[in-house]
């Protein structure tokens, strides 16, 4: 029994030293600099020991708001319920699929191919490039890879009732209409 207590004590001590090293390493990261002074102040209040620093840093770092932006735009954003996201994203992607199939039939372009599988919409325009549209449920976004404008992440905007790229303010459907229409030489109606 005594050896088991000793073993548990040694294991806990190793974990504490390892976690403390991780915290000091993480304290040098740019994102952690804002909470470093808070962690140090909390550790002083709790006695200044490494265990106090560990406890206070864990508590502070785990309070990151759930509404933080995914990186495209500064500031908070509310997280949409997952079932609502899937309904909106699936509806948008399926509408795109139908309209682009009709468009492809009407223009009779060599290399025009549209495919939908594993929740990824792929539009091949022969030598002109390939578009990929897919949904990212954890971020509640639709991602677009465009041969013209590159990658973009679109968030649902309730005020405009559409998928908007927050960096540029571009609407997903309008961007696709513009780019595909210019590449193919024939206007396309996706809205």
CATH code (residue 163):
3.30.920.10
Q: What is the pLDDT of residues 140-162, one digit of tens each?
A: 999 999 999 999 999 999 999 99
Domain count, the chain: 1
Q: CA nearest 127: which of 145, 147, 105, 151? A: 147
| Residue 25 within a domain | no
| Residue 17 within a domain | no
Contact yes or no for 113/100 (Cβ under 8 A):
no
Greatest CA span in the chain, whole angstroms? 82
CA dihedral 154, 158, 161, 165 (to 10 degrees): -20
Q: What is the pLDDT of residues 22-38, one digit of tens each?
A: 444 444 444 433 444 44
Which residue range forms the structural domain that includes residue 138? Answer: 82-184
pTM flag (> 0.85): no
Q: What is the pLDDT of residues 170-187, one digit of tens each?
A: 999 999 999 999 999 999
The packing angle between helices 50-61 and 33-45, to 10°, is: 130
| Residue 16 within a domain | no
Tell me the three state secondary structure of residue 132.
strand
């Amino acid at each position: 029994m005594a050896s088991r207590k000793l073993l548990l004590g040694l294991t806990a001590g190793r974990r504490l030293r390892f976690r403390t090293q991780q915290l000091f390493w993480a304290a040098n990261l740019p994102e952690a600099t804002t909470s470093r002074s808070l962690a140090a102040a909390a550790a002083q209040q709790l006695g200044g020991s490494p265990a106090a620093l560990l406890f206070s840093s864990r508590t502070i770092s785990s309070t990151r708001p759930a509404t933080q932006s995914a990186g495209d735009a500064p500031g908070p954003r509310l997280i949409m319920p997952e079932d609502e996201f899937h309904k909106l994203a699936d509806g948008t992607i399926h509408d795109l699929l139908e309209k682009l199939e009709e468009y492809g039939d009407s223009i009779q372009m060599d290399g025009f191919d549209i495919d939908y599988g594993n929740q990824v919409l792929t539009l091949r325009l022969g030598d002109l490039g390939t578009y990929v549209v897919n949904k990212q449920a954890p971020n509640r976004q639709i991602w677009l890879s465009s041969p013209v404008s590159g990658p973009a992440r679109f968030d649902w905007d309730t005020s405009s009732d559409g998928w908007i790229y927050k960096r540029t303010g571009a609407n997903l459907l309008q961007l696709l209409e513009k780019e595909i229409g210019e590449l193919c030489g024939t206007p396309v109606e996706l809205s």
